[in-house]
Amino acid sequence: MNEAQWWRDAVVYQVYPRSFADADGDGIGDLRGVVDRVPYLADLGVDAVWLSPFYPSALADGGYDIDDHRAVDPRLGTLDDVDALVASLAEHGMRLVVDIVPNHTSDRHVWFREALASPPGSPARARYHFRDGRGASGELPPADWRSGFGGLMWTRTPDGQWYLHIHAAEQPDLNWANEEVRQDFLTTLAFWADRGVAGFRIDVAHLLAKDLPEDLPAEVELAAAAPGRHPFIDRDEVHDVYAEWRALFDRYSPPRTAVAEAWVPAERRGRYACATGLGQAFNFDLLTSNWDAEEFAAVIRRNLELAEQSGSSSTWVLSNHDVVRHTSRYGLPQGTPDDPQLGRQWLLARGRTPRLDAALGERRARAATLLLLALPGSTYLYQGEELGLHEVPDLPDEDRQDPTFLRSDGADAGRDGCRVPLPWTRSSASFGFGAGGAHLPQPAWFGEHSVGAQRADPSSTLHLYRRALRLRRELRVDHEPASVRWHPAPPGVLHLARGGGWHCLTTFSAPAPAPRGTVVLASAPLADDGRVPPGVTVWFRQG
């Protein structure tokens, strides 16, 4: 494929650096740890690494509260380490994608400190959203908006004004109508692109543009806003920002890529994903889907159509650092999703009462992965899913770090359970994560999921991922969304072909007859007579 289009069917592996590998033994993963594991990633067979934030941060939100967008957290390394990572990945045929967090800074950012030290109405405050409060002496917040992280979206400063933060109070929202803010992010993007970064993952890309009228609507009125008309969600003018970014990306060779994290209705995703915008947008639809053939088929069909309409390629995602690991989601009792983002499974796991069938979850997760890897488009893998890792649901409260836990007084168990440091070895201290312990406690069962344990077992999930990624490269036929051919299949089963005689069959809730062709990979053993039991994906070739 043409070099400029590498991202269209890339397999991108997300590294959450503080929990990946700790080279200096301080209990926190670091960039050297990632560099040391580049051969592991090459052997796994991914095309690119997306690195979650590694910038200086007080970790009020796991690094998504950034003090300086053009520096490295000294606990994680140096700019030289970033260069070393780019170089080492390139040597192994891989690329680096970094996280850009443009919606907010941390409250320790030089701009925010300057804003607090400056009077109301000053240029320094104009980079953020400061407002006077309501009530006789401004003691009431400008609006009753509540943050998804718990608590209000407004915090009062010592001089009485309030500032907006959609997330935690340590994450003040930037004002994207401010020219200096816009210019500064162009500088940041060029800074990383000049260092050889191939692409960017854009954090909450749908929140930047804001239109906050004098009289702010109440929270109940927000829900009724028409698409594109909400004061801060998915406003149409956010795309002016991305058009500017696109012009910058296209000055590089190959052009830099970007993928939007935009929690917007599927039909609005193309605005972010089109060629004049960021180029790609995450499709999170499978995060809210049950293990159900019809739900999967609907999501796949819809997203292939959308990718075709926008001229982008679809992105397939089962897990990331914000959601319950899919191995656990698929082992929990099914039900109608009743949480807008993540479904009932999320609530169950986060409620720490998971009636988890661990083996069932692993079986389905393996099948889901093979199905995704058979689809046109790119796939984003989250560190540890290649080990079949489950969510860690029972972290002690005193160890939890996620602001969603802290700000909700524990009502939401938060996202730490998918951020526990990876197990590399079966038994050594912190399972080989580092010499100095792990910043979140690892459960005893991590040992049997470790890289070391799985390397020794040819039937392990790690080997399945390696084989699948190799075969995907070999069998790669056509990344065009329209290249999928659906075949008739019994209820509860999906069967599709990708051309070149390559077929993919997934049994969700019912068995399927033996595939007519040569099986090249199966996520679990088939019956002696070749029939496919439920919860399996088979890749086979005809002709």
What's the min distance (Å) between Cβ of 322 and ligand GLC? 5
Residue nearest ligand GLC by beta-carbon distance? 64
Contacts with 242 (C-beta within 8 Å, 6 or more apart), sequence order: 205, 258, 260, 272, 277, 278
What is the token pair recorded at 31?
Answer: 């960039």
Q: How far apart are the first and last CA of the chain?
A: 25
What's the min distance (Å) between Cβ of 147 and ligand GLC? 10
Q: Does 165 bind ligand GLC (CB under 6 A)?
A: no
CA-closest candidate to residue 451, choices 360, 381, 384, 532: 384
Q: Give the torsion through C-alpha atoms of 163, 165, 171, 176, to 10 deg.
A: -80
Residue 107 vs 203, nearer CB to ligand GLC: 203
What's the min distance (Å) between Cβ of 167 and ligand GLC? 5
Residue 413 vs 468, nearer CB to ligand GLC: 413
What's the min distance (Å) between Cβ of 87 and ligand GLC? 27
- The radius of gyration of the chain's CA atoms, rounded to the nearest angstrom, is 23
Residue 168 vs 373, nearer CB to ligand GLC: 168
Residue 170 vs 386, nearer CB to ligand GLC: 170
Residue 242 vs 424, nearer CB to ligand GLC: 242
Question: What gap in Å lies between CA 407 and CA 2, rounded to an integer?
Answer: 47
Residue with tokens 């209820």: 491
DSSP string, 248-313: HHTTSSSPPEEEE-----GGGTHHHHSTTTTEEE---GGGG--S-HHHHHHHHHHHHHHHHHHTS-
Residue 85 vs 100, nearer CB to ligand GLC: 100
Residue 17 vs 432, nearer CB to ligand GLC: 17
Q: Work out the burial of residue 435: count CB atoms within 10 Å of its CB; fewer than 13 is exposed, 13-18 middle, 19 or more buried.
A: middle
- Alpha-helical runs (H) found in 351-460: 358-373, 403-407, 446-449, 451-455
Task: Name which of residues 475 to 534 contact ligand GLC (CB under 6 A).
Answer: none
Cα separation values, 33 from 67, 95, 316, 408, 528, Å: 22, 17, 27, 33, 44
Kindly write out the interface string for residues 220-259 of this chain, putting x where it contacts ligand GLC by CB under 6 A and - elsewhere.
----------------------------------------
Q: Does 107 bind ligand GLC (CB under 6 A)?
A: no
Residue 45 vs 53, nearer CB to ligand GLC: 53
What's the min distance (Å) between Cβ of 53 and ligand GLC? 9
Q: Does 61 bind ligand GLC (CB under 6 A)?
A: yes
CA-closest candidate to residue 205, choices 131, 261, 284, 273: 261
Residue with tokens 């993540």: 342
What's the min distance (Å) between Cβ of 444 and ligand GLC? 27
Bridge partners of residue 503, in order along the sequence: 497, 540
Residue 40 vs 263, nearer CB to ligand GLC: 263
Residue with tokens 């080279």: 23
Strand 257-260 and strand 279-281: the pairing is: parallel
What's the min distance (Å) between Cβ of 361 and ligand GLC? 23
Q: Does 101 bind ligand GLC (CB under 6 A)?
A: yes
What's the min distance (Å) between Cβ of 335 and ligand GLC? 25
Question: What gap in Å lies between CA 363 and CA 37, rounded to an integer?
Answer: 27
Residue 66 vs 306, nearer CB to ligand GLC: 66
Contact 496, 516 (CB under 8 A): no
Size of the site for ligand GLC (CB under 6 A): 9
CA angle, 119 then 208 then 114, to 5°: 25
CA-closest candidate to residue 465, choices 360, 359, 357, 383: 383
What's the min distance (Å) between Cβ of 171 and ligand GLC? 6
DSSP string, 226-248: PTT-SSSSS-TTHHHHHHHHHHH
Q: Does 30 bind ligand GLC (CB under 6 A)?
A: no
Q: Does 167 bind ligand GLC (CB under 6 A)?
A: yes
Question: What gap in Å lies between CA 260 and CA 362, rounded to an integer?
Answer: 29
Task: Name which of residues 273 to 332 contact ligand GLC (CB under 6 A).
Answer: 321-322
Residue 321 vs 400, nearer CB to ligand GLC: 321
Residue 111 vs 539, nearer CB to ligand GLC: 111
What's the min distance (Å) between Cβ of 261 and ligand GLC? 6
Cis bond upstream, residue 354 (ω within 30)? no
What's the min distance (Å) between Cβ of 204 and ligand GLC? 5
Helix (H, G, I), strand (E, B) or coil at 519: strand
What's the min distance (Å) between Cβ of 411 and ligand GLC? 17
Residue 164 vs 374, nearer CB to ligand GLC: 164
- Out of 203, 285, 386, 416, the only residue in the binding site for ligand GLC (CB under 6 A) is 203
Q: Does 412 bind ligand GLC (CB under 6 A)?
A: no
Q: What is the DSSP letter of 425?
A: S
What's the min distance (Å) between Cβ of 211 and ligand GLC? 21
Footprint of ligand GLC (CB under 6 A) = 61, 64, 101, 167, 203-204, 261, 321-322
